[in-house]
Structure 1
Amino acid sequence: MKKIVLIIALLSPWFIYAQNKSNKKKGPSTYDLVIGTYTTGSSKGIAVYRFYAENGRLAYLSEIDGVDNPSYLTLSSNNKFIYAVNELPKGEVSSFSFEPKTGKMVLINKQPSEGADPCYIAVDKAQKNIFVANYSSGTVAVLPLGTDGSIGKATQTLHDAGHGPNKERQEAAHAHMSILSPDEKYLLYNDLGTDKVNVLRYKASKDKPLEPATPSFVSVTPGDGPRHLEFSLDKKYVYLATEMGSNVHVFDYDNGKLKQKQTVSLLAEGFKGQTAAAAIHLSPDGRFLYVSNRLETNEIIVYSINQETGELTFVQRQSSFGKNPRDFAIDPTGKFMIVANQNSDSIYVFRIDNATGKLTPTGFKLDIGNPVCLKFAPAM
């Protein structure tokens, strides 16, 4: 009798559904790694590599040339389009169609970035606008998008006046990042030249979608040089890496308002050499923060995040095995980190310990000219 009951249970629709559901993959195991570069060396433009999450390996897929200095890029939320800056004195932004399965890219169009040396680009989830930070001219521009992925002429350009104490690097405004808040109600942009994080309200429906928030900015230590920032997963905290000071500032965040609560140095005790912080990213589970530092440091610094307060505790200092780790990316599974060493034409893969956040080199190296920006996309 017990055997008959067991057989009936095993054949029941509920049991079969539960088994099928449990046997399904929890997301893709392969991804595309899209790489932005400087084309002043051996690189031709944007490259795409297939990334295998089970072993951390990379395999070449495609490359598009004739694109000048696509140093920073972003992908649309549907992964059909790539938007890249062209970091030149007369700055431009470029749009490409993208096929994740093959890695194929086709240029759609270009537009002026309304500034010199654009160094950062972001796109909203609805694919209405892109936001470009022009470093040398200190401007932030908003450019509308067509349904075909094309970029229209800028509808708004903003410029922050002022300067910082460093006469060589902070003689004027230098916009370094323009990023939307997770709810996309605000745009935050970091200004290395004025030591400020500027905050603007964003309303996509308006002809000029950005307007100053109240308060409209928060300042950091003079001479620190804000570069990149990252939001915590619970949206309660913001982590800001400063290029010139090599610090990480922790802010409480609430509806466009920032309040500083902690500052940690990226430098080892007693270090006196040249340094310049670059990229800052969270682990996918939000438990660890990683920051790259360049020049005479060339390392990734790891911090654990207190989940109650958002504050940081030092965990590890790991060599990048190259010169100037300009960017890095953590794969969506959280198992591996890919590090781009701009000045040594190399990319290295590191394994991430899920329990401690520590990095261990896998030994895998990719030779590629002047890698600057790394973005993951599902390989559909």
Structure 2
Amino acid sequence: MKADKFSLIICLLFCLNLYSQKEYVFFGSYNWDKKIEGIYVYQLDTINGKLTKLTSVKDVLNPSYLTISPNGKYIYACTESKIPNAGSVSAYKFDSDNKSLTFINSQQSGGENPVYLNVHENGKWLVNVNYTDGSVSVYPILENGAIDSIAQNIKFIGGSINSKRQEKSHIHSAVFSPKFDCLFLTDLGADKIRVYPFYNSQKAPLNLEKSSLINTELGSGPRHFTFSPNGQFAYCIEEISGTICAFSYAENELKKIQRLETHSKNLKEGFESSDIHISPDGKFLYASNRGKENNIAIYTIAPNGFIELIGYQSTLGKHPRTFAIDQTGKFIIVTNVITQNVVVFRRNLETGLLKKVGKPVKIKNVSCVKTRIY
């Protein structure tokens, strides 16, 4: 009897903990005007998928991409994106109790048009990449979440066969290895994945002498990159060719195992493939297509890392620049920039397929989404 009561208490405590946890959703945008809202915070109802607005911030220009610190206390934004001769990165403190977002500081991005941010698992390093001039900047993060001055800034040279899109290097993402001891930079302009050992205890953590290159198909335009949850495979979405390249991964080395299209076979141009994510259970891969299709391509992932297309889901809007799988794994949240709407889809955990829930949320020029449970 005592054992049964103890088990009941443990169960109740577990349920109360789940109930007390809340999932917040952060949106970045191209606001083009500091007088209007730029970063938005919503709460996601993890039962029905409804988004409820909590707060927003102004006095920031084009916070187009966001990332969240490992402890959830700080939000970092690419700011002044797509502003000629400009570019910065900004830090904000998020108070989940008061549901407030407070500006901390900004630093120059070290290049033009910052498009992607990532934070090391120890919370002490921020990495930013600048698309227009093809560069990467690394910053120490101070104890209060502020961004310190640039520790390293590397500009790349090179181009590829598409004269309109690949006239020079264009870095589009920076992804840490599963052990956070290496950084992978996708270079859309040069058709390369640039690999750098990352020594987090050094003042200049990117090791230039031991860097390496993975060549992608000419004209492919590698954009975003992700690792499987088990760390054994990696997947790169290629914007210009509308393809996904799959790799096996071990000891910071990638080996190509598969490459296939993200778009329907009858589409011959206008792919604009964009974002890529894997479900928390590692069973499904999702990729967004902008351009003429505006959909999410859905794939199963086999134990050997190979993927197989099982369907498409319209994003119910135009230009799905980014999307996120929420931390429960139950929902996918899509940002449609041109139609300025956010759509939530429920994931079928068995089939991987998607179904819209609730009403789309209107956010002006919405461009990025990140989620976090507190």
The bucket for the TM-score relative to the shorter chain is over 0.9
How far, CA to CA, are the matches of 2:242 and 2:277 in structure 1?
15
How far, CA to CA, are the matches of 1:36 and 1:213 in structure 2?
36
2:51 corresponds to 1:58: yes
2:144 corresponds to 1:148: yes
> C-alpha offsets along residues 322-343 of structure 1, whole Å, 9 cap, x if unaligned?
0100111111111111111011
| One-letter amino acid of the counterpart of residue 27, structure 2 | I
Q: Which has the higher mean CA deviation after the structures are superposed, 17-26 or 345-354?
A: 17-26
Choose the corresponding residue for 1:34, options 26, 29, 42.
26
Q: Which has the higher mean CA deviation after the structures are superposed, 85-94 or 227-236?
A: 85-94
> C-alpha offsets along residues 240-265 of structure 1, whole Å, 9 cap, x if unaligned?
00110110100011121011000110
State whether residues 119 and 125 of structure 2, in contact with CA within 8 Å, keep that contact through their aligned partners in structure 1.
Answer: yes
Choose the corresponding residue for 1:16, options 1, 5, 11.
5
- Give 1:121 shift: 0.4
Pairing 1:271-282 to 2, within 5 Å after superposition: 271-282=267-278
> C-alpha offsets along residues 121-175 of structure 1, whole Å, 9 cap, x if unaligned?
0011211110001000100010111101111110101122211101111111001
Instruction: Describe the SS at the equivalent of 1:284.
Output: coil
Gaps (5+ residues) in structure 1?
Answer: 1-9
How far, CA to CA, are the matches of 2:11 and 2:358 in structure 1?
34
Instruction: Describe the SS at the equivalent of 2:355.
Output: strand
> C-alpha offsets along residues 93-115 of structure 1, whole Å, 9 cap, x if unaligned?
00111112333111111100100
How far, CA to CA, are the matches of 2:210 and 2:239 in structure 1?
26
How far, CA to CA, are the matches of 2:99 and 2:234 in structure 1?
33
- Which residue of structure 2 lines up, in the alignment, with residue 310 of structure 1? 305
| One-letter amino acid of the counterpart of residue 38, structure 2 | G
- Give 1:30 shift: 2.9
For the aligned residue pairs, the C-alpha RMSD in angstroms reads: 1.5
How far, CA to CA, are the matches of 2:266 and 2:256 in structure 1?
25
Choose the corresponding residue for 1:183, options 174, 179, 185.
179
- Which residue of structure 2 lines up, in the alignment, with residue 233 of structure 1? 229
| One-letter amino acid of the counterpart of residue 73, structure 1 | L
2:202 corresponds to 1:206: yes
> C-alpha offsets along residues 332-357 of structure 1, whole Å, 9 cap, x if unaligned?
11111111101111011111111100
State whether residues 177 and 184 of structure 2, in contact with CA within 8 Å, keep that contact through their aligned partners in structure 1.
Answer: yes
- Give 1:371 shift: 1.1
Say if 1:334 and 1:216 are closer, same or farther in 2 by CA, change over 3 A.
same
- Give 1:27 shift: 3.7
- Which residue of structure 1 lines up, in the alignment, with residue 243 of structure 2? 247
| One-letter amino acid of the counterpart of residue 322, structure 2 | D
- Which residue of structure 1 lines up, in the alignment, with residue 105 of structure 2? 109
How far, CA to CA, are the matches of 2:265 and 2:309 in structure 1?
12
2:322 corresponds to 1:327: yes
Instruction: Among all aligned residue pairs of Structure 1 and Structure 2, give the percentage whose two residues are the same amino acid.
Output: 34
Instruction: Describe the SS at the equivalent of 2:153.
Output: strand
- Give 1:270 shift: 1.8
How far, CA to CA, are the matches of 2:200 and 2:135 in structure 1?
19
| One-letter amino acid of the counterpart of residue 355, structure 1 | E
How far, CA to CA, are the matches of 1:43 and 1:190 in structure 2?
32
How far, CA to CA, are the matches of 1:352 and 1:43 in structure 2?
33
Instruction: Describe the SS at the equivalent of 1:210.
Output: coil
Instruction: Describe the SS at the equivalent of 1:15.
Output: helix
Q: Which has the higher mean CA deviation after the structures are superposed, 137-146 or 152-161?
A: 152-161
- Which residue of structure 2 lines up, in the alignment, with residue 45 of structure 1? 38
Say if 1:145 and 1:315 are closer, same or farther in 2 by CA, change over 3 A.
same
- Give 1:212 shift: 3.9
- Which residue of structure 2 lines up, in the alignment, with residue 288 of structure 1? 284
- Residue-pair matches, total: 367
Pairing 1:347-366 to 2, within 5 Å after superposition: 347-366=342-361
How far, CA to CA, are the matches of 1:75 and 1:200 in structure 2?
22
- Higher Cα Rg, which structure: 1
How far, CA to CA, are the matches of 1:351 and 1:84 in structure 2?
27
How far, CA to CA, are the matches of 2:186 and 2:89 in structure 1?
19
> C-alpha offsets along residues 273-315 of structure 1, whole Å, 9 cap, x if unaligned?
4120111011111110000000111000000000x20110111
